[in-house]
Structure 1
Amino acid sequence: MSGEPRVTLKMIVNAVAWAFDVPAHMIAYNRRAKEYVTARQAVCWLARELTPLSMPEIGRRLGDRDHTTILHAIGRAQGRLDTDDDFAERVGQARQMVMRTSGGDKRWRDADPVEAASRVMDGVAPREAGRLSIDEIVAVAARLLDLEDVAATTYQLLAQLDELARLRSRAFDSEARLRMAQLAASSAALSDALADALQGLGYEYAEPPEPDQETAREHADPQP
């Protein structure tokens, strides 16, 4: 309904990262360390409670996981909410933050963080920073955190693509092929997350230019 707070998976991931004291970009990454598994369980449960996303969609956005994995995570989270006071408290904190983020004071969103930062950097003296409004300061901080998340996701994607390239020389190995399939799925999910994040920051995706017919013909029929 128009006017109602809109909760996104990114809000949930960021809130859970804060409540569970883990890096936000690691929650979707395929790590089995206890702290990341616990945080993912919380994200899955909150996503089911607070968003209209289906389990397959939640799974796709959390590292291209199968919907049965998400269902299992939700079940584990529900069980822990009933028996683990610390887990329940942290989930409650994350939920409160999500609700504040989705429905709180959004005046700072009207501020232009790039313009504000440019004023500071172009100023003749550092005191220019003191002339920023509170809303501008919050907007710059939010932009910085978003870009940090983008940078971390980009680094993960590059690392996975590098590993994928190295494994291609071992394509005859069944274990290598399995790992390549896992990396391909994970890289695609990271690429989608990166594109969503950049679009959320106002960047537009530019389709690569179509090669002209002469160039296409040269690539199709290389000369000896």
Structure 2
Amino acid sequence: MKNLLTRALMIVALTGVTMADQINLPTPSKEGGKPLMTALSERKTSREFSDREIPLQMLSDMLWAAYGINRPDGRLTSPTAINRQEIDLYLVMKNGAYFYNPKELKLAKISEKGIRTTSGFGKFAEKAPLTIIFVVNKGRQQISDPTASLTLGAVDCGFIGQNLYLYCASEGLNTVFFATLNKEALSTALKLEKGNEVFFGQSIGFPPEK
């Protein structure tokens, strides 16, 4: 029994895969990686992925680079209009969907169902070990004009997406940012409340093995 428990803990530590209702992310590493100009020169879109899971430490580092707190006043690595911080990130993995809490460095399980094949994703996203869903919280955004709300929400999602692209270039990961998804199905699967709108998705994973 002890050996089985030890093995299970090792699997979680190595892959980040767990069925827990909450995952405590390790403290993100803010050092290392490729120089910025190198990452920019290697930034690219790829829709090809292996099914290898992303280690938990790498996942924590990635999420911090995308949308993590980088100052004592709670501001983020990615800018948002009037610092509303209106974007929420949901992680879709093969064992379920999670909500990313950047303040507490935690992932809260939203669904245990594998929703990759029912959310309008392309075939590439169905294989990718991780797809991040960008959700705009209109209540936090507090912009009454629909056009401005849509524009600024999309721009803020784009900032986060570029952060992810640069992190992936730095760490040798493949990624693709996309807008073709079943927003209604995702809203239901992620249990989004009124005023929360799905905008984009971004699939991430290791390159396929040769």
Q: Which has the higher strand share?
A: 2
How would you bin the TM-score normalised by the shorter chain? Answer: under 0.3
**If the length of structure 1 is used for normalisation, what is the TM-score?**
0.23
In our comparison, the structure showing a higher alpha carbon Rg is 1
Higher RCO by CA contacts (8 Å cutoff, separation 6 or greater)? 2
Whichever structure has more helix as a proportion of its residues is 1
